[in-house]
Amino acid sequence: MKYILTSILFIFLFISCREPEAPPTFATLAVQNTWKAGYVRDNSNIITGLYNGWRFTFNSDGTLIVNGGGATMNGTWEENIAARKVLLFINSSSLPAVFVSREWDLVFLTPARIKLADNRFSPVQEIYLDKP
């Protein structure tokens, strides 16, 4: 009986001591997928309408392709996993592209939605990237 209890305790400890799965990163979710701007807020103004039809494609080499506003724009992206931040840059002078081109905090990551926020200003600026 003592052997059985020891064995059960050992099995329980072995199972419970496994490393938890790492949370998803921006790269693991965003790369090779196309995303749309589902919600965009600049301070207290909801400006999602400026991004109707925009599609963001993140490539594994750190490049970004944005189709929107009647144009195709190139850019780059870079993730800082430890700081939970992503730097986006779109090579365009259009106001909507300039708004997106900055360092964002990674607030929320799921396979269907990536929520980015810039908390340096009050109220916060946000972009929700959603799967189309």
Q: Which residues contact 63 (CB under 8 A, 6 or more apart)?
A: 74, 75, 76, 77
* Complete domains list, the chain, with CATH: 24-130 (2.40.128.270)
- pLDDT bracket for residue 22 (50, 70, 90): confident
| Inter-CA distances, 39 with 4, 22, 47, 81, 115, Å | 57, 27, 8, 23, 9
- Band (57; pLDDT cuts 50, 70, 90): very high
Q: Name residue 62's beta-bridge partners.
A: none
Indicate the pTM of the whole model: 0.81
